[in-house]
């Protein structure tokens, strides 16, 4: 049995560091002083397991994972448990954000074993890396029993666990196959209609988002709904989308002081967040709220986009211009301590204004969480609140902004949550795209400057001479080969920067990334892309990422990139790849739309609902910018002030004139010069 915690746990400062001390990942460094002899995931570690014929114990998590921290403190700092682990296993600690390829394989294994998964993820594997058992969080007493049982099994019944590993690997291989549907893949309108009807079954028409709790912002799902409902002018979908965006922005999941969204809400009303903030959520939500403003003209959506973007620039950006990965949920060892308020704290900071601002944030009522703590939210829009309290709206907004600055200053005196300061190429690409979009929609150049600075850093520090990219960056160091998501998201961000600047160097970069991906990731036999580069060290199973989740799948993102580039470069081979990919998943889009929503966006584009906006002539830059701002979210813009070799501009220049072409699937309406005519055609 385990001895008393006080006698078994030792201070990290008294412990010698393990091999993780040489890593840059904040999550790995958190474990660098555990008594567990942790190894990083690399070829040397895998070779060591084979040479010593020892099982691998692969533990996967990320820096903002609350239960990962709990398991570290309870279990991995325990001397007795550490000795059991060290004696019987080569122990490997993996940051799932740095190594999504490793995480995907062992998550698949645990899901096959238990039917579900999560983090922390702890998987037992044979010396060659084949998994045979695993789970998520284990209490210390459970962990001790499990370690002993697995060690005994390996010593006495190895053949049995080798057979189990074989069956798990076979199941993982079968699960990753996607069969081409027999028929109906070309009936895109029907597929999209049925997909939306199936999505609606899980809509919460009272609180927004999906029914029940917890509530996750799902940007990919909402992005598809936005694009589809615009094309169909569907009032019900428009109302649902606005409801969801309002409820999220007014709830506790949104940081009402500094801006930015937490990962998810634990309840069904967006009230109490799991307080960590992730770059990928906020990057996508900035884009979503900016698009919602572009369509509806409602300034409150633009304000949320700008506040969230400012949060990224102020709190999540390095001096070099790279965006950090996450802010932890905990500070001082307590979840949410940085963000919550008591009434007395409010009174101390705001004085005479406390009563009014407390009412605005719902303190003691809607905002009350537990004990006397409040999660700031907004029960009413400012206009409705001002009217209810008999206040002039402008006077109230000025009073609120002054109070807000006082609260921000006071909160910044608190112990801050831990920062995961590694930068990931794919997540930075999401931020680059959203900031570039926002720069035009908001008419604020600072967002474009930040986007271009981050892109330049990636190009200079993470792009290699052979056309490949690296996945991670911190303190000038990067050592992980890029994944498909890095190429897809980065190419899409480069296309967005081109649309805004008309600088064709961004398109050249997007095409370079895409051609490299086709050469090194594409599986022509299955018409899908592998997640890992063919030049990378081969894992026990090479996966294709198909399912859209909080982040779109790398295959669906690559499909959209291929479609856009096919139009810009008049390259039919690109479009054919995208078309075949869409056909392969069409049946899944219809049946499981929430897991294939970015694929649904690709199908929407392929089904004639996408517009190409081409402007040539000396006034092209301003006209492109004005056309970009127009409501239609389903468009690609391209412009050139003078003759260009880009195929989309072929035969489209007229001397002394600035011409506007509105096209779909390479079929164009009559070109016009007047902006009002072009705008009407685009609508």
pLDDT at residue 71, rounded to an integer: 93
Reported as a pLDDT band with limits 50, 70 and 90, residue 2 is very low
For residue 180, is it within any domain?
no
> Over 90: is that where the pLDDT of 521 sits?
yes
C-alpha–C-alpha distance, residues 490 and 288, integer Å: 18
Residues 405, 437 within the same domain:
no
Residues 461, 569 within the same domain:
yes
> Over 60: is that where the pLDDT of 396 sits?
yes
> Over 80: is that where the pLDDT of 184 sits?
no
Task: Indicate the residue among 151, 175, 199 that finishes a domain.
Answer: 175
Share the mean pLDDT of the chain: 93
Residues 366, 460 within the same domain:
no
**Least confident piece of the model among 103-107, 124-128, 534-538:** 534-538
Task: Indicate the residue among 413, 436, 468 that finishes a domain.
Answer: 413
Region 179-208: what's the mean pLDDT? 81
Task: Indicate the residue among 124, 150, 175 that finishes a domain.
Answer: 175
pLDDT at residue 187, rounded to an integer: 64
Q: Which two tokens stand for residue 600?
A: 């649904």
C-alpha–C-alpha distance, residues 287 and 211, integer Å: 24
For residue 25, is it within any domain?
yes
Region 154-167: what's the mean pLDDT? 94
pLDDT at residue 177, rounded to an integer: 62
Residues 152, 109 within the same domain:
yes
Distance (Å) of CA 444 to CA 251, 435, 500, 510? 27, 10, 12, 25
Q: Which two tokens stand for residue 354?
A: 């406390």
> Over 50: is that where the pLDDT of 599 sits?
yes
Residues 548, 631 within the same domain:
no
| Chain segment 267-316, per-residue pLDDT in tens | 999 999 999 999 999 999 999 999 999 999 999 999 999 999 999 999 99
For residue 183, is it within any domain?
no
Reported as a pLDDT band with limits 50, 70 and 90, residue 116 is confident
C-alpha–C-alpha distance, residues 60 and 78, integer Å: 18
For residue 182, is it within any domain?
no
Residues 210, 268 within the same domain:
yes
Residues 277, 350 within the same domain:
no
For residue 181, is it within any domain?
no
CATH code for the domain in which residue 504 is found: 1.50.10.10
pLDDT at residue 115, rounded to an integer: 84
Reported as a pLDDT band with limits 50, 70 and 90, residue 612 is very high
Region 14-41: what's the mean pLDDT? 93
pLDDT at residue 10, rounded to an integer: 39
Reported as a pLDDT band with limits 50, 70 and 90, residue 590 is very high
Residues 551, 575 within the same domain:
yes
Residues 625, 530 within the same domain:
no
Residues 644, 602 within the same domain:
no
- Domains in the chain, number: 4
Residue among 450, 198, 446, 498 at smallest CA distance from 321: 450
438 with 444: CB under 8 angstroms? yes
Residue among 143, 454, 468, 103 at smallest CA distance from 279: 454
Q: Count H helices and E strands in the chain, helices first.
A: 26, 19
Residues 138, 28 within the same domain:
yes
Domain encompassing residue 69: 5-175
Residues 568, 656 within the same domain:
no
pLDDT at residue 537, rounded to an integer: 76
Region 592-616: what's the mean pLDDT? 95
CATH code for the domain in which residue 37 is found: 3.40.30.10
Q: Which two tokens stand for residue 445?
A: 């150049």
For residue 205, is it within any domain?
yes
pLDDT at residue 172, rounded to an integer: 84
For residue 556, is it within any domain?
yes
| Chain segment 536-587, per-residue pLDDT in tens | 877 888 899 999 999 999 999 999 999 999 999 999 999 999 999 999 999 9
> Over 60: is that where the pLDDT of 186 sits?
no
pLDDT at residue 668, rounded to an integer: 86
Region 621-650: what's the mean pLDDT? 93
472 with 101: CB under 8 angstroms? no
For residue 401, is it within any domain?
yes
For residue 491, the surrounding DSSP H or E stretch is helix 484-501
**Least confident piece of the model among 10-14, 167-171, 365-369, 435-439:** 10-14
> Over 50: is that where the pLDDT of 7 sits?
no
């Amino acid at each position: 049995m385990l001895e008393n915690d006080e006698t078994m746990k030792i201070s990290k400062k008294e412990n010698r560091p393990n091999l993780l001390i040489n890593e840059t990942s904040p999550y790995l460094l958190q474990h660098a002083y555990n008594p567990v002899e942790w190894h990083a995931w690399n070829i040397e570690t895998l070779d060591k397991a084979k040479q010593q014929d020892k099982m691998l114990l692969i533990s996967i998590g990320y820096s903002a994972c609350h239960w990962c921290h709990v398991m570290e403190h309870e279990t991995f700092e325990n001397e007795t448990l550490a000795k059991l682990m060290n004696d019987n296993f080569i122990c490997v600690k993996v940051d799932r954000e740095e190594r999504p390829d490793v995480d995907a394989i062992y998550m698949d294994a645990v899901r096959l074993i238990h039917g579900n998964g999560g983090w922390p993820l702890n998987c037992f594997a044979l010396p060659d890396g084949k998994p045979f058992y695993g789970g998520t969080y284990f209490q210390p007493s459970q962990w001790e029993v499990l370690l002993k049982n697995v060690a005994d099994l390996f010593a006495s019944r190895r053949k049995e666990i080798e057979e189990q590993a074989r069956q798990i690997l076979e199941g993982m291989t079968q699960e990753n196959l996607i069969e081409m549907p027999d028929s109906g893949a070309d009936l895109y309108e029907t597929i999209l209609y049925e997909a939306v009807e199936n999505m609606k079954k899980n809509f919460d028409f009272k609180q927004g988002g999906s029914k029940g709790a917890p509530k996750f912002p799902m940007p990919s799902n909402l992005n598809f709904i936005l694009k589809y409902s615009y094309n169909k002018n569907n009032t019900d979908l428009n109302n649902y989308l606005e409801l969801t965006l309002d409820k999220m922005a007014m709830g506790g999941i949104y940081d009402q002081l500094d801006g930015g969204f937490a990962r998810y809400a634990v309840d069904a009303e967006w009230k109490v967040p799991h307080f960590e903030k992730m770059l990928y959520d906020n990057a996508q939500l900035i884009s979503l709220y900016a698009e919602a403003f572009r369509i509806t003209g409602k300034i409150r959506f633009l304000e949320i986009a700008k506040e969230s973007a400012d949060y990224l620039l102020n709190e999540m950006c390095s001096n070099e211009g790279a965006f950090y990965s996450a802010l932890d949920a905990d500070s001082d060892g307590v979840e949410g301590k940085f963000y919550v308020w008591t009434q007395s704290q409010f009174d101390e900071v705001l004085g005479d204004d406390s009563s009014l601002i407390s009412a605005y944030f719902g303190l003691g009522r809607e905002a009350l969480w537990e004990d006397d703590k409040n999660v700031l939210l907004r029960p009413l829009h400012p206009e409705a609140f001002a009217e209810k309290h008999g206040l002039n709206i402008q006077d109230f907004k000025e009073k609120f902004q002054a109070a807000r600055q006082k609260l921000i200053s006071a909160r910044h005196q608190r112990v801050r949550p831990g920062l995961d300061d590694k930068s990931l190429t794919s997540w930075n690409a999401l931020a680059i795209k959203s900031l570039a979009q926002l720069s035009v929609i908001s008419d604020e150049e600072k967002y474009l400057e930040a986007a271009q600075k981050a892109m330049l850093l990636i190009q200079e520090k993470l792009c290699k001479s052979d056309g490949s990219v690296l996945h991670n960056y911190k303190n000038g160091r990067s050592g992980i080969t890029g994944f498909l998501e890095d190429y897809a998201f980065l190419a899409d961000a480069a296309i967005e920067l081109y649309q805004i600047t008309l600088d064709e160097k961004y398109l050249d970069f997007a095409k370079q990334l895409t051609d490299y991906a086709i050469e090194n990731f594409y599986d022509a036999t299955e018409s899908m892309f592998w997640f890992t580069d063919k030049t990378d060290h081969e894992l026990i199973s090479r996966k294709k990422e198909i399912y859209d989740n909080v982040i779109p799948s790398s295959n669906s993102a690559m499909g959209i990139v291929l479609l856009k580039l096919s139009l810009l470069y008049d390259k039919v081979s690109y479009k054919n790849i995208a078309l075949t990919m869409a056909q392969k998943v069409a049946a899944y889009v219809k049946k499981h739309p929430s897991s294939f929503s970015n694929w649904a966006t690709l199908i929407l584009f392929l089904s004639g609902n996408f517009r190409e906006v081409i402007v040539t002539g000396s006034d092209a830059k301003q006209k492109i910018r004005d056309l970009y701002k127009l409501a239609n979210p389903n468009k690609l813009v391209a412009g050139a002030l003078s003759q260009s070799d880009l195929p989309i501009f072929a035969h489209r220049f007229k001397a002394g004139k600035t011409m506007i072409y509105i096209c779909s699937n390479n079929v164009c309406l009559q070109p016009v010069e007047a902006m009002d005519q072009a705008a009407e055609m685009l609508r």
